[in-house]
């Protein structure tokens, strides 16, 4: 069963953007699988993959019906120290997971199966019980919504760790001019505090406003914390600790060697599985 969980996890997580929801979807499918007559099942793994994908779509649809005005970011997953032998290469980059929140559950599933797992439309149609024509339409509609998505590779090319060391020193030294050179003109800062933690600002766009906010947040909330450089969903990230308690996870997105986005996750429910 553990091997099944490792195989199934990337499908569920990529669709749901949540580690806990993905594990719940897999557990539900495996429990049901234990209790059914399997005489009609020719390919056990294929049957479970299909079941998990559809269970994940249903969970995503239910969750999307819960209206909320707050910004929601995916649950971060360590791809540097991924546990349980999960195939981290099949985990989508964090920036793409954020973009995929623009899609419906079905559009997202088709997009992931086609782009991340290289399924032909014939297999996508069989997996989620739609027509081949509908699969093509869902993919086309999804790509239209993701107008800025211009690559067929969902992996991420991260800068050298020394770049992140330089960023940390720049923030610690309060060097605004140096940090300004590290940011893209249209940089965006995203913060998710969940239901219980109020963040300073959920979304900030533009270099000037981002510079001020980055220094303010560091001086006010992060200066006394220890910092660890790591990799989250294939992207460089910083983890901020108060002793052994993880307080903040910041995931960085780069474009042309400039920081394009920083995704700040401070929701404790999304940090508890990180180390």
Q: How does pLDDT run across 99-151, given as a tens digit for each residue?
A: 999 999 999 999 999 998 999 999 999 999 999 999 999 999 999 998 755 54
What is the separation of C-alpha 274 from the centre of its chain, rounded to a whole number of angstroms? 13
**pLDDT one-digit tens code per residue, 156-174:** 555 667 889 999 999 999 9
How many residues does the structure list for the chain?
275
Average pLDDT rounded to a whole number, residues 57-86: 79
In whole angstroms, give the CA distance from residue 6 to residue 86.
Answer: 5
Whether the Cβ atoms of residue 184 and residue 255 lie closer than 8 Å to each other: yes
Q: How far apart are CA 116 and CA 217, in angstroms?
A: 35
Question: What is the Cα gyration radius of the chain?
Answer: 20
pLDDT band of 195, cuts 50, 70, 90: confident
State whether residue 10 is helix, strand or coil: helix
* Structure tokens belonging to residue 6: 């490792």
Q: Considering the entire predicted model, what is its pTM?
A: 0.90
Pairs from 62-67 (Cβ < 8 Å, separation ≥ 24): 63/16, 63/21, 64/104, 64/105
State the Cα–Cα distance between residues 61 and 86, nearest whole angstrom: 25
Which one is predicted more confidently, 184 or 87? Answer: 184
Pairing of strands 258-265, 245-255: antiparallel
Grade residue 4 by pLDDT with cuts at 50, 70 and 90: confident
pLDDT tens for 6-55 read 899 999 999 999 999 999 999 999 999 888 777 677 788 888 999 999 99
d(C-alpha 109, C-alpha 115), whole Å: 10
C-alpha–C-alpha distance, residues 35 and 145, integer Å: 40
**Dmax of the chain from CA atoms?**
68
For residue 198, the number of C-alpha atoms closer than 13 Å in the C-beta half-sphere is 0
Q: At a CB cut-off of 8 Å and minimum separation 6, what does 143 contact?
A: 111, 149
d(CA 92, CA 21): 16
- Round to whole Å and give the CA distance between 34 and 36: 6
> Would you state the torsion angle of the CA atoms of residues 138, 140, 142, 146, taken in this order, to the nearest 10 degrees?
180
């Amino acid at each position: 069963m553990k091997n099944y969980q490792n195989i199934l996890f990337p499908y569920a997580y990529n669709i749901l953007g949540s580690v806990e929801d993905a594990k719940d979807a897999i557990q539900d499918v495996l429990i049901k699988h234990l209790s059914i007559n399997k005489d009609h099942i020719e390919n056990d793994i294929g049957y479970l993959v299909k079941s998990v994908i559809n269970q994940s779509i249903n969970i995503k649809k239910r969750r999307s019906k819960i209206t909320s005005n707050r910004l929601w970011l995916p649950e971060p997953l360590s791809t540097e120290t991924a546990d349980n032998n999960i195939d981290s290469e099949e985990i989508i980059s964090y920036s793409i997971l954020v973009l995929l929140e623009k899609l419906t559950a079905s559009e997202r599933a088709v997009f992931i199966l086609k782009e991340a797992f290289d399924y032909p439309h014939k297999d996508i149609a069989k997996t989620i019980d739609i027509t081949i024509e509908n699969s093509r339409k869902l993919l086309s509609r999804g790509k239209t919504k993701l107008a800025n998505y211009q690559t067929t590779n969902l992996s991420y090319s991260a800068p050298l760790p020394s770049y992140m060391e330089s960023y940390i020193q720049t923030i610690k030294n309060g060097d605004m001019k140096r940090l300004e050179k590290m940011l893209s003109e249209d940089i965006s800062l995203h913060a998710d505090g969940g239901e219980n933690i109020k963040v300073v600002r959920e979304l900030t766009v533009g270099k000037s406003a981002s510079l001020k906010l980055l220094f303010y947040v560091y001086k006010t909330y992060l200066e006394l914390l220890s910092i660890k450089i790591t990799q989250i969903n294939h992207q460089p990230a910083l983890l901020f600790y108060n002793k052994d308690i993880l307080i903040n996870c910041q995931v960085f997105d780069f474009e042309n060697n400039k920081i394009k986005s920083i995704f700040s996750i401070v929701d404790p429910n999304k940090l508890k599985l990180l180390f």
